[in-house]
Structure 1
């Protein structure tokens, strides 16, 4: 492995044992270690690494004839400084992405002590370095938020934006489905450039582009936090999609109307009980072949 590649892997803490030994044999190993130590104590978030390199190269061009003996080491040091600052700037402005898989939930602590609980098959993105001046997250999927009081807090989804100032609320954004439920405080939901204010117990629901009226929410937290999914007069396809996410299975409907409205619930920790919960109310039968489930209308 060439010298530059070794340095890059070292800066990224990605050297294996063999590469580490090769790195230690570099003639300027001690200088690199000292330079890295000094740079760690220096913060320059607005450092323009490209401009810095151009300045160094211009200086070298004007002194090339009279100072040939130190050109190579100077260029090498300049390259190292540029790489270090570039990596520092890149890592401090990088977004943090949290992803949950099928049948997985997780809790995320944000920089201001706000907490986010991610449901299965969801993605949350935020930026730590910008958080103080911009409390904003991007969400794909479903999450319950407990927001610390402070400046405006925004949740951006493909369907719309949710804005709060310190509250508890749930956001669910799936294919052709967008729902926000306020449990505490005040929530503003912007959809198609129109903002709707939600008070505790209020809901905002869009299915297939249409706004759906819902009754007042009586629970203090979403049911999925307690490993249960509840539905009230929702299309059966929404129930099936959530079941697949919670159990990591594939469901095929045979002779079943996926648009039929369903009211009921299913647990997340017992698939046999859960299957009965979503089939018996509609008089369906089911078969489970290693995670490939078929639901049929009973004869």
Structure 2
């Protein structure tokens, strides 16, 4: 692999172990590393990496007997690479993921706090935060937003916008729910715009808007290791069970769209299964990490 190919893969963060070793053997490896480290605290002017590299590329490949300018070309090439490093590192997003039955707390650059629920993903760009307070969410999270510019939570089902407040957003396959706990929350979906005040919420399941009962608690139930449901199709309740327990739930001869109202604990699988199956006159059986639900 050529030197240029190694450097390009290094910039793309795609070197494998063998390529990494070859990259470290480059003559100017130490220079690249020093300049890379220095660039983390360097604010560059507007610079087109592609345009400048394209202009330099013919000179880098041209063979000539004149050698006096070769050191200058080397410096120019290193500077182009370092500007590329700076561009890549300042445009990279920060991404946080949680596994089954896990949670994590994320501190955003403006002291806002996000508690990310199980099996969820949150993405934001720290370097652009002062210009745009924006996060992308897939899953569920509870937000405590510091006052300041508009704060947007972008999901596949809609955008939640606030200035400073506490709210919960849940966006999973076919399920979208927002509950305001403090302040004022604006929710924009494909079909409408809704403003929520403390205790109010909006719930869209499989594309249908459902009435949401007024919330009487100060925080979502999942922060207390419990999941609550009101008139929710069984298939979505099961998805939540799978998010808190390392299991696969199969519905056998039962209506997956049957509505369920109730709650289950995140700390005891049998108790959780009983909380879901008994009110619906279902039974369950275990086979390894699989649970089969059946009609009585």
- Say whether the fold is shared (TM-score over 0.5): yes
1:256, CA displacement in angstroms?
1.5
What corresponds to 2:127 in structure 1?
A: 129
1:178 aligns to 2:176 (yes or no) = yes
Kept after mapping to 1: 8 A contact 2:118/2:243: yes
Change (3 A) 1:45 1:124: farther
What corresponds to 1:211 in structure 2?
A: 209
1:53 aligns to 2:65 (yes or no) = no
TM-score by length of 1: 0.86
TM-score by length of 2: 0.87
Change (3 A) 1:38 1:243: closer
What corresponds to 1:43 in structure 2?
A: 43
1:69, CA displacement in angstroms?
1.1
1:242, CA displacement in angstroms?
0.7
What is the distance in 1 between the residues matched to 2:150 and 2:5? 44
What is the distance in 1 between the residues matched to 2:53 and 2:26? 26
What is the distance in 1 between the residues matched to 2:140 and 2:154? 12
The correspondence for 2:96, drawn from 98, 118, 122, is 98
1:147 aligns to 2:145 (yes or no) = yes
Kept after mapping to 1: 8 A contact 2:36/2:82: yes
1:15, CA displacement in angstroms?
9.9
What corresponds to 2:114 in structure 1?
A: 116
Structure 2 regions of 5+ residues with no counterpart? none
What corresponds to 2:261 in structure 1?
A: 263
Structure 1 regions of 5+ residues with no counterpart? none
Kept after mapping to 2: 8 A contact 1:64/1:71: no
What corresponds to 1:237 in structure 2?
A: 235
The correspondence for 1:228, drawn from 209, 226, 229, is 226
Aligned residues: 294
What corresponds to 1:290 in structure 2?
A: 288
State the SS of the aligned residue for 2:67: helix
What is the distance in 2 between the residues matched to 1:131 and 1:207? 32
1:75, CA displacement in angstroms?
2.7
1:53, CA displacement in angstroms?
2.6
Following superposition of structure 1 onto structure 2, how do residues 240-255 of structure 1 map, counting pairs within 5 Å?
Answer: 240-255=238-253
Change (3 A) 1:236 1:79: same
Kept after mapping to 2: 8 A contact 1:53/1:78: no
Change (3 A) 1:160 1:33: closer
What is the distance in 2 between the residues matched to 1:30 and 1:68? 27
What is the distance in 2 between the residues matched to 1:131 and 1:223? 30
Note the alpha carbon deviations across 1:141-171, whole angstroms, 9 max, x for none.
Answer: 1111111110101111111111111111111
What corresponds to 2:277 in structure 1?
A: 279
RMSD of Structure 2 on Structure 1 (CA): 3.1
What is the distance in 2 between the residues matched to 1:45 and 1:266? 55
1:137, CA displacement in angstroms?
0.9
1:23, CA displacement in angstroms?
4.1
What is the distance in 2 between the residues matched to 1:83 and 1:218? 56
State the SS of the aligned residue for 2:85: helix
What is the distance in 2 between the residues matched to 1:179 and 1:33? 46
Change (3 A) 1:235 1:34: closer
Structure with higher Rg: it is 1
